[in-house]
Amino acid sequence: MTTSTVNGGISFWYAQDGLPAPREPLPGDSSADVCVIGGGYTGLWTAYYLKKAAPDLRITVLEGRFCGYGASGRNGGWLFNGIAGRDRYARLHGRDSAVRLQQAMNDTVDEVIRVAAEEGIDADIHRGGVLEVAYTPAQAARLKAFHSAEVAFGEKERVLLGAQETAERIRVSGAVTSSWTPYGARVHPVKLVKGLAAAVEALGVTIHESTPVTQIRPQHAVTPYGTVRAPYVLRCTEGFTAAIKGQRRAWLPMNSSMIATEPLSPELWDTIGWEGREALGDMAHAYVYAQRTADDRIALGGRGVPYRYGSRTDNDGRTQPVTIEALREMLVRLFPTTAGVRIDHAWSGVLGVPRDWCATVTLDRSTGLGWAGGYVGSGVATTNLAGRTLRDLIQQDSGQSGATDLSTLPWVGHKVRKWEPEPLRWLGVQAMYAAYRGADRRESAARSARTDRVARVADRVSGRH
Ligand SMILES: Cc1cc2nc3c(=O)[nH]c(=O)nc-3n(C[C@H](O)[C@H](O)[C@H](O)COP(=O)(O)OP(=O)(O)OC[C@H]3O[C@@H](n4cnc5c(N)ncnc54)[C@H](O)[C@@H]3O)c2cc1C
């Protein structure tokens, strides 16, 4: 980290695009047909699709800070078809059901791009697909298994590339193989969330910002400024959920951290390639994800300090210097020619991680309470599917429609046990990530194609697989 690196400030994306003009807090008690808590992608997509389906519906969004304050304004901008928990859903509900879920996710990438175009949201979207690379024998073995599994789940267009073909796309140092899928696009996260909030408001949805919900009860969302009463109350608070009364051990807030470089010179880009602007990732246990931004920077993320004691969340994205340095080293590991490049910004955000690492969407028909989340690290597209699914569940519950393709997907209504109380929760996550980092180091040093034994144990103990 150099003195010129901005640390925190929510995210680089806001530094670039500016913070949004604040919206008024809730002025007092009120009522609505649907109350959405949280103005990230989940809450906004839900409001969007509900209002489109039933323009007369009175929908109120209550946001604790401002729309896009959370992960939706801080992410890596991989709009892709991954969904946390698919393989477990295949085991629980059968393979066909999980194939349907995967197909719905494939379609979701197109759906986000379609709506952005329809609503005039210019979010620097570039559909270059996703390229996942391997640069150790163990990573290569995992990548091949991953590739075969995705093809078996219906991704016929996915291709496995050799070292030469990989380098023709992106020259990742030492890459031996990669897997490319067309189901992915690069987005500017903040332009997407700001545009979505504006589109939702233009449809007639009421958004109140600086309005934290302190308690959720059936038909009630309680805030310091008043209570919103609504037959349906939807919790869309992802990594912040643990701070809500009664939810402390629901989804664990896991940190993910990012850096953005200065814009790279054309000469430097010549050493890297990346003309296709693919979303780029690796197959390490503590994996990295990256994008080439519209203004020719590299934005790269990975796990920093993964979790803070007591499920505390963040301080406007401030990131520990040791994490920033680790990400910079990762950047140089992938692209040695970036060694002298300035890091303009570093930031962090929180993901929601359920005990079984499975994303869910639920409407409890007896109480009218609903929620969606637990996306782990893949929510940019999944939130859209969640929004459309919550719409269908509410329409079904209120007699406007029957069961739909979306309301019968296997992630609907999934129940998961709570995380362990502290200090076990903290110790467990620290140990898991120490295990992953150690495994990555050993795999880099070893010539073996076997996944490190410690990482396999960590996967099992953490409930990840
Ligand atoms: C650094 C980082 C990189 C990521 N990269 C990717 C990626 O490249 N691709 C991908 O698919 N996914 C990625 N993710 C995950 C993805 O960003 C999230 O899954 C997604 O944005 C979740 O959206 P959300 O609306 O559910 O949650 P959030 O965006 O976190 O929104 C929750 C909102 O609720 C508000 N809130 C919280 N508590 C309350 C309360 N009590 N009352 C009122 N409001 C409240 C918050 O202020 C916040 O605005 C990344 C996440 C992070 C942190």
pLDDT (tens place) for every residue of the chain, 465 residues total: 567 899 999 999 999 999 999 999 999 999 999 999 999 999 999 999 999 999 999 999 999 999 999 999 999 999 999 999 999 999 999 999 999 999 999 999 999 999 999 999 999 999 999 999 999 999 999 999 999 999 999 999 999 999 999 999 999 999 999 999 999 999 999 999 999 999 999 999 999 999 999 999 999 999 999 999 999 999 999 999 988 888 877 888 888 899 999 999 999 999 999 999 999 999 988 789 999 999 999 999 986 655 565 556 578 999 989 899 999 999 999 999 999 999 999 999 998 888 888 999 999 999 999 999 999 989 999 999 999 999 999 999 999 999 999 999 999 999 988 876 766 666 666 666 665 666 667 667 766 677 765 555 555 555 565
Q: Is the peptide bond before 410 cis (omega within 30 degrees of 0)?
A: no
Amino acid at residue number 89: Y
What is d(CA 210, CA 65) in angstroms, rounded to the nearest whole number?
4
Q: Is 216 in the pocket of ligand 1 (CB under 6 A)?
A: no
Q: Is 153 in the pocket of ligand 1 (CB under 6 A)?
A: no
- Got the DSSP string for 120-153? T-----B---EEEEE-SHHHHHHHHHHHHHHHHT
Ligand 1 centre and the CA of 163: distance in Å?
35
pLDDT at residue 251, rounded to an integer: 83
Q: Which tokens sit at 245?
A: 């009364």
- Choosing from 351, 357, 411 the residue with most ligand 1 atoms within 8 A of its CB, the one to mutate for a pocket test is 351
Nearest-atom index, ligand 1, CA of 258: 1
How many Cα atoms sit within 13 Å of 81 on the Cβ side? Answer: 28
Q: What are phi and psi of 156, to 5 degrees?
A: -65, -25
pLDDT at residue 286, rounded to an integer: 78
Distance of CA 3 to the CA centre of its chain: 29
pLDDT at residue 327, rounded to an integer: 94
Ligand 1 centre and the CA of 241: distance in Å?
10
Q: Hey, how many other C-beta atoms are within 10 angstroms of the C-beta on 312? A: 12
Ligand 1 centre and the CA of 62: distance in Å?
15
pLDDT at residue 204, rounded to an integer: 98
Amino acid at residue number 384: N
pLDDT at residue 433, rounded to an integer: 64
Name the pTM for this structure.
0.94
pLDDT at residue 135, rounded to an integer: 95
Strands 232-235 and 369-373: parallel
pLDDT at residue 461, rounded to an integer: 53
Amino acid at residue number 264: L
- Got the DSSP string for 53-116? H-TT--EEEE-SS-TT-SGGGTS--EEES--TTHHHHHHHH-HHHHHHHHHHHHHHHHHHHHHH
pLDDT at residue 456, rounded to an integer: 58
pLDDT at residue 380, rounded to an integer: 98
Closest CA to 80 of 184, 180, 182, 159: 184
Distances (CA, A) of 244 to 103, 182, 212, 220: 33, 38, 10, 14
- Choosing from 238, 248, 389 the residue with most ligand 1 atoms within 8 A of its CB, the one to mutate for a pocket test is 238
Q: Is 240 in the pocket of ligand 1 (CB under 6 A)?
A: yes
- Choosing from 63, 237, 288, 384 the residue with most ligand 1 atoms within 8 A of its CB, the one to mutate for a pocket test is 237
pLDDT at residue 244, rounded to an integer: 87
The angle that helices 382-397 and 95-118 make with each other, rounded to 10 degrees, is 100
- Choosing from 44, 208, 240 the residue with most ligand 1 atoms within 8 A of its CB, the one to mutate for a pocket test is 240
Closest CA to 89 of 353, 350, 416: 416
The strands making up 298-302's β-sheet, listed across from edge to edge, are 6-7, 343-353, 252-261, 298-302, 289-292, 279-282, 130-134, 177-181, 159-162
List helix spans (H) across 128-222: 137-152, 163-169, 189-202
How many Cα atoms sit within 13 Å of 377 on the Cβ side? Answer: 19
Beta bridge partners of 424: none
What is d(CA 105, CA 276) in angstroms, rounded to the nearest whole number?
22
| Radius of gyration for the chain, computed over Cα atoms and rounded to the nearest angstrom | 21
pLDDT at residue 422, rounded to an integer: 67
Q: Is 375 in the pocket of ligand 1 (CB under 6 A)?
A: yes
Element (DSSP H or E) covering residue 420: none
pLDDT at residue 449, rounded to an integer: 73
Q: Is 166 in the pocket of ligand 1 (CB under 6 A)?
A: no
Q: Is 39 in the pocket of ligand 1 (CB under 6 A)?
A: yes
pLDDT at residue 434, rounded to an integer: 66
pLDDT at residue 218, rounded to an integer: 97
Q: 200, 61 in Cβ contact below 8 A?
A: yes
pLDDT at residue 252, rounded to an integer: 83
pLDDT at residue 246, rounded to an integer: 84
What is d(CA 293, CA 279) in angstroms, rounded to the nearest whole number?
10
